[in-house]
């Protein structure tokens, strides 16, 4: 009893100790070589990537996993060897990696920090549309500050209770909307200037945005009058009657009477498509029952658009009036809002057209602050003055004054100085500056472009320190260039294609290089049935086949060859099969249909299947030899790696793969 009481606590303590010492799943060692190892976590990540995802990997067999572990071990041994050879300090490889990091890093930054988040935001925003009114003041004559002050004063008056619509009618410079209370109809994200849209999306229905909004068109006060779920596209049909009489005079009363009579027929059960065909005066759609196909907001005139987008599928509108005439509209379909992936390319196009440039400039401004950017305005002004009529690209290097100021610092960032000579070297490579003259505007624009590129490259060089995804991408590329160089050094670069070894390889493997049964033939081809029959009758009378072919065959490129085809496999074409039916050299066939015309073939000779000579098979022998030699050298190299690093594999642990902790 005492023994049981002692043993029980000891067993419990032992169990706790053992459970605490259990190796976490991801740290299970599958392969050990020297001070390095391949853990379960590393293996699962690599295997899932190779298999096309973790779910597919989970379903794979142990045999497949063992095969992959072997290949992955070889890969890791090669990387260890690359480090032992000092590839990480090799100047050529480091330069290649650095160049790749800059190029891919810049693309990565622009995609991940600008495009991807922005198009996702755009996608969500475009699910909604707003009806918007505005009051706009242009700074045309009064100047920027006066226009801003006036707009702010009008906004203050609205906040104090004065009518938005009244002030629009009295003061707005937008003559298209001021007569309708500033209404600019329905908008959604990606239609207008970003600054304007952002204000709209922050404003409640019935409300006025709290601040004056500046755009390239002027200063705006923005009011949101309606918010609704956006319908991307609708499909509608219409019956239209224009305002003109048969004599060409405007007669809206007669037009109204005609459309009203059509509307009555519809109300009494008339077929819309038939009535459109009989009565519509829109010549472009009446033959199709009035169908206008799909259209988006703002593609039709306002009155038509509003009526169509307020209908439900199958509904028919009342008679509406537009500048084109009177219409009755039938809505046939509404397109649902697309999925993100379906709309992705369209979203990218909209974003690049409307918001990308602004977002890019904002990103560059952030990088300027981050890397303490500063430009030398005095040097910019000096070059602009000296440049006179010189072109931005090319002419700078011919200027006498270049020798005195070429080393001047133009701008700096991250403790790096960019001198004038370096700047113009980069400008020479930019197509947009090839014909532009050196002046202050173009200099400032080019400095903005070049400095922006350099700031992005600088950010790209530091990106792997803060972004694990990009760091992994760079590691993959680095591993790739190391493996490529190893293969070049140990395999491809050691293959010697001397004739003696190729002949030896040919003798060992020549059974692989064979010709099938082949046939040599000539052809007379014509698109005309009567002509081919005429040529056949001439042949039967004794005319020479080659002479007729040289004069009359219509197959492009074969008159000069007298219709002759070199040796062909007997089953390679209809021509060779027809010629193979002939028994003796010089025999010719009856006419037969062939590729849009008719042909007669003559047998020149038959050659039975045989092994190719060395010269005939040289290209195949060379390829086969290189493949065999590559495998031999590869196996020899891997064997040396195994002898050097002596990996120990625990393949029995693979049964636990993809079954560990989440």
pLDDT 10s digits, 138-186: 998 789 999 999 999 999 999 999 999 999 999 999 999 999 999 999 9
Beta strands at 518-526 and 597-607: parallel, antiparallel or unpaired: antiparallel
Instruction: Report residue 651: phi and psi, to 5°.
Output: -65, -20
pLDDT at residue 659, as a whole number: 87
- What is the rounded distance in angstroms from the CA atom of residue 407 to the CA atom of residue 429? 19
CB-CB contact of 43 with 62 (8 Å): no
> What backbone phi and psi angles, to 5 degrees, belong to 261?
-70, -35
Contact 82, 53 (CB under 8 A): no
Q: What is the mean pLDDT of the chain?
A: 93
151 forms beta bridges with none
DSSP single-letter state for residue 280: -
Specify the pairing of strand 409-413 against strand 416-419: antiparallel
Q: How confident is the model at residue 9 (pLDDT cuts 50, 70, 90)?
A: very low
Question: Residue 79 and residue 96: Cα distance in Å, rounded?
Answer: 17
Contacts made by residues 631-640, CB under 8 angstroms, sequence distance 24+:
633/490, 633/491, 633/494, 633/495, 634/487, 634/490, 634/491, 637/486, 637/490, 637/491, 638/74, 638/77
Task: Quickly list H helices, 85-206.
Answer: 91-109, 116-125, 144-159, 164-171, 194-201
Residue 4 above 50 pLDDT?
Answer: no
pLDDT score of 19: 44
3-state secondary structure of 469: helix
Q: Which residue in this structure is represented by tokens 């590393």?
A: 42
User: Cα–Cα distance between 447 and 419 in angstroms, integer?
Assistant: 11
Q: What are 336-365's pLDDT values in tens digits?
A: 999 999 999 999 999 999 999 999 999 999
Q: Angle at CA 567, nearest 5°, toward 562 and 572?
A: 105
Do residues 525 and 558 touch, judged by C-beta distance below 8 A?
Answer: yes
Structure tokens at 142: 């009064």
541-553 pLDDT per residue, tens: 999 999 999 999 9
How many Cα atoms are found within 13 Å in the side-chain-facing hemisphere of 96? 15
- Summarised one tens digit per residue, pLDDT across range 476-520 is 999 999 999 999 999 999 998 889 999 999 999 999 999 999 999
Q: Copy the structure tokens of residue 503.
A: 């002949």
Whether the per-residue pLDDT at 20 is higher than 60: the answer is: no
* pLDDT score, position 12: 39
Instruction: With CA atoms as reference, report the closest residue to 662 among 15, 41, 28, 4.
Output: 41
Residue 661 binned pLDDT confidence (cut-offs 50, 70, 90): low
Distance, in Å, from the CA atom of 653 to the CA atom of 662, rounded to the nearest integer, reads 18
Q: Which tokens go with 25?
A: 């799943």
Q: Is the confidence at residue 318, as pLDDT, over 90?
A: yes
Length reported for the chain: 662
Total Cβ atoms within 10 A of residue 167: 17
Beta-carbon count within 10 A of 229 CB: 8
Query: What pLDDT, in 10s, does the model give residues 601-649?
Result: 999 999 999 999 999 999 999 999 999 999 999 999 999 999 999 999 9
Q: Which two tokens stand for residue 487?
A: 């293969």
Q: How far apart are CA 494 and CA 631, in angstroms?
A: 12
pTM of the model: 0.77
Kindly list the strands in the beta sheet with 416-419, ordered across the sheet, starting from the edge strand earlier in the chain.
374-375, 409-413, 416-419
Are the C-beta atoms of residues 147 and 135 closer than 8 Å to each other?
no
The two beta strands, 29-33 and 36-39, are antiparallel
Q: 74: Cβ–Cβ under 8 A, 6 or more apart, which residues?
A: 638, 641
Pairwise CA distance, residues 555 & 574, whole Å: 15
Q: Is the pLDDT of residue 521 over 90?
A: yes
**Torsion sign, CA atoms 273, 276, 277, 279:** positive
State percent of the chain over pLDDT 90.
Answer: 91
Please list the alpha-helical segments (H only) found in 268-355.
272-279, 302-309, 340-354
H/E element, 294: strand 291-295
DSSP code, position 24: P
pLDDT-based confidence at residue 265 (cuts at 50, 70, 90): very high
DSSP assignments along 387-414, one per residue = HTT-BSSSGGGG-TTHHHHTTSEEEEET
Count other C-beta atoms under 10 Å from residue 94's C-beta. 14
d(CA 449, CA 586) in angstroms, rounded, equals: 75
Confidence at residue 21, expressed as pLDDT on a 0 to 100 scale? 57
Other CB atoms closer than 10 Å to residue 69's CB: what's the count? 22
Question: What is the C-alpha to C-alpha distance for residues 134 and 215, in angstroms, rounded to an integer?
Answer: 13
> Among 163, 185, 170, 159, which Cα is nearest to 136's?
170
Q: How far is CA 181 from CA 136, 195, 223, 298, 303, in A?
A: 12, 21, 10, 19, 16
Q: Report the DSSP pairing between strands 564-569 and 518-526.
A: antiparallel
Structure tokens at 455: 């700031």
For residue 233, which phi and psi values (nearest 5 degrees)?
A: -150, 150
Domains along the sequence of the chain with CATH: 1-84+616-662 (no CATH), 128-229 (3.10.50.40), 233-335 (3.10.50.40), 372-463 (no CATH), 514-611 (3.10.50.40)
pLDDT for 575 equals: 95
């Amino acid at each position: 009893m005492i023994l049981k009481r002692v043993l029980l606590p000891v067993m419990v303590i032992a169990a706790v100790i053992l459970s605490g010492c259990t190796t976490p799943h991801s740290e299970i060692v599958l392969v050990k070589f020297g001070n390095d190892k391949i853990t379960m976590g590393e293996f699962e990540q690599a295997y899932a990537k190779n298999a096309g995802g973790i779910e597919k990997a989970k379903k794979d067999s142990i045999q497949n996993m063992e095969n992959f572990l072997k290949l992955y071990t070889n890969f890791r041994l090669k990387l260890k060897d690359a480090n032992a050879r000092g590839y990480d300090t090799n100047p050529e490889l480091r330069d290649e990696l650095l160049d790749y990091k800059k190029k891919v890093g810049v693309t990565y930054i622009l995609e991940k920090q600008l495009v991807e988040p922005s198009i996702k935001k755009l996608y969500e925003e475009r699910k909604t549309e707003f009806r918007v009114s505005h009051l706009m003041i242009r700074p045309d004559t009064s100047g920027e500050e006066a226009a801003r002050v006036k707009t702010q004063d009008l906004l203050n008056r609205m906040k104090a209770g004065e009518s938005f619509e009244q002030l629009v009618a009295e003061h707005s410079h937008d003559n298209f909307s001021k007569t309708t209370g500033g209404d600019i109809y329905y908008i959604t994200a990606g239609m207008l200037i970003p600054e304007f849209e952002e204000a709209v999306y922050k404003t409640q229905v019935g409300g006025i945005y709290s601040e004056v909004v500046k755009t390239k068109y002027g200063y705006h006060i923005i009011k949101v009058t309606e918010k609704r779920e956006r319908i991307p596209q609708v499909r509608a049909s219409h019956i239209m009657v224009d305002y003109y009489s048969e004599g060409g005079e405007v007669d809206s009363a007669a037009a109204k009477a005609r459309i009203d009579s059509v509307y009555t027929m519809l109300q009494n059960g008339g077929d819309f498509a038939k009535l459109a065909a009989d009565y519509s005066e829109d010549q472009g759609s009446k033959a199709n029952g009035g169908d206008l196909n799909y259209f988006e907001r703002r593609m039709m005139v306002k009155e038509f658009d509003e009526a169509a987008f307020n209908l439900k599928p199958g509904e028919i509108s009342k008679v509406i009036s537009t500048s084109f005439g009177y219409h009755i509209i039938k809505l046939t379909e509404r397109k649902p809002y697309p999925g993100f992936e379906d709309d992705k390319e369209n979203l990218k196009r909209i974003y690049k057209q409307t918001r990308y440039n602004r977002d890019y400039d904002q990103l560059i401004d952030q990088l300027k602050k981050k890397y303490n950017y500063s430009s030398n305005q005095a040097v910019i002004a000096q070059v602009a003055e000296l440049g006179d009529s010189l072109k931005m690209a090319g002419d700078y290097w011919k200027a006498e004054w270049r020798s005195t100021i070429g080393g001047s610092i133009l701008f700096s960032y991250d403790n790096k100085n960019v001198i004038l000579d370096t700047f113009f070297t980069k400008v020479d490579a930019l197509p947009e500056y090839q014909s532009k003259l050196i002046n202050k505007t173009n200099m400032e624009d080019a400095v903005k472009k070049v400095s922006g590129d350099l700031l992005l490259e600088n950010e790209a060089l530091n990106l792997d320190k803060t972004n694990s995804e990009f760091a992994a991408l760079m590691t993959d590329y680095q591993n790739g260039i190391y493996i490529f160089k190893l293969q070049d050094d140990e395999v491809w670069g050691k293959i010697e294609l001397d004739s003696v070894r190729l002949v030896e390889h040919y003798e060992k493997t020549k059974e692989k290089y064979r010709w099938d049964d082949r046939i040599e033939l000539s052809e007379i081809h014509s698109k005309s049935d009567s002509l081919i029959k005429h040529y056949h009758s001439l042949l039967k009378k004794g005319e020479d086949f080659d002479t007729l072919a040289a004069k009359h065959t219509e197959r492009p490129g074969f008159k000069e060859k007298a219709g002759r085809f070199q040796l062909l496999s007997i089953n390679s074409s209809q021509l060779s099969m027809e010629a193979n039916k002939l028994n003796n050299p010089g025999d010719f066939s009856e006419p037969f249909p062939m590729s849009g015309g008719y042909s007669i073939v003559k047998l020149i000779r038959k050659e039975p299947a045989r092994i190719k000579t060395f010269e005939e098979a040289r290209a195949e022998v060379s390829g086969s030899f290189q493949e065999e030699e590559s495998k031999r050298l590869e196996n020899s190299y891997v064997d040396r790696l195994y002898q050097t690093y002596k990996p120990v594999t625990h393949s029995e642990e693979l049964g636990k793969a993809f079954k560990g902790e989440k």
